[in-house]
Amino acid sequence: MDEKIYFARHSQLNGFGEQKQNMLRQASVLVIGAGGLGCPVLQYLAAAGVGKITVIDGDTVSASNLHRQVLYHSSDIGVKKVDILKERLNTSFCHLETMDAWLDENLAKDMFPSFDLIVDTSDNFATRYLVNDYCVKSGKALVSAGIQQYEGQLSVYNYDFGNGMRSGTYRCLFPEVDMDAPNCSTDGVLSTAVGVLGLLQANEVIKVLTREETVLANKLLLYNVHTNEQRIVKYRRVAGEEVDNHESVSIPSGTDLVGVSWDTLLEWETQAVPFTLIDVREEWEHAEYNKGGINIPLGELVREISSLTAANRLVFYCKRSERSRIAIQRLQDKGLRNEMYYVIQ
């Protein structure tokens, strides 16, 4: 394919031209997540000719993804998302790399310094804070968006203005993580809201990479697809809220949290070792697919604590161990002292 013809409309665009197209060609971007936001972000960045895109995601396609994650089909259910991307994205002028993994502190520390820009399209607060904190530590700008029901938000954090100053961070707006905050798994989300915010996020990435003056740095875009209302809220970098006064947010871990494998549980059953298996996902997730046990969603678990006190051993499972570990921590904080384990996923 002729590159000049392919990018002709960019080259003809006043204020963009070949110079900024070359800036995209030379750029490297790390995208965290290949879900609802990730799909439009990846489609447009690859098509726009961003030179190198690396995607990290450890998830598989599920039926409940398909209404908003438009890169995937019903035949992809159960398949790793990163295994599908190369055949679905236009990579004619983009080098695409994928990693089947969940982001953790070690990966963030190792990977972030190698990229020009970090793009967070993840769907959980622990990852958002982790990405924010390591962007600050590695001196990288972050384009991050979030969706809740009909509404979305978007901003560029830790942006280098080129004068020794950087824009505010995610922590400057939201200093502490709220594990009880609503998310699309519990409250739902409109498919078009995800598409609109993902497209706006891709647009912001292009603006950052081409050094546009209108970047959403120190500005939070709020968009409601239900009412079509849009507004921008200004904020600033708050001393002490970047990272230093906070511990890095990650999924709860430590000596009090013990993981077991499904093989171990099978051995316990064979040996008649008593335990109570609890799925802490939402009811619809349990109905869609489960591995047995009782279903008590994470948000309802503390209210059900009295029914758990008589159990010898409590074993929690979810999709990727995250909610299970949070479940144990919450019950321990409420004084429950049963033996408690999470299933390692």
Four-residue CA torsion sign, 131, 136, 138, 140: positive
| Contact criterion met (CB below 8 Å) for 84 and 43 | no
> Strands 258-260 and 219-224, how do they pair?
unpaired
Closest C-alpha to 338, from 306, 299, 310, 319: 310
| Contact criterion met (CB below 8 Å) for 107 and 163 | no
Which residues, including other chains, have CB under 8 Å from residue 306's CB and lie 6 or more apart?
none
> Strands 339-343 and 219-224, how do they pair?
unpaired
| Contact criterion met (CB below 8 Å) for 240 and 323 | no
Tell me the C-alpha to C-alpha distance, in Å, between residue 209 and each of 97, 143, 220: 19, 11, 19
Beta-bridge mates of residue 98: 55
Rounded Cα gap, residues 22 and 163, in angstroms: 24
Rounded Cα gap, residues 213 and 217, in angstroms: 10
Which residues, including other chains, have CB under 8 Å from residue 227's CB and lie 6 or more apart?
150
Kindly list the catalytic residues. Answer: 184, 318
User: Residue 200 in 3-state DSSP?
Assistant: helix
Beta-bridge mates of residue 315: 277, 341
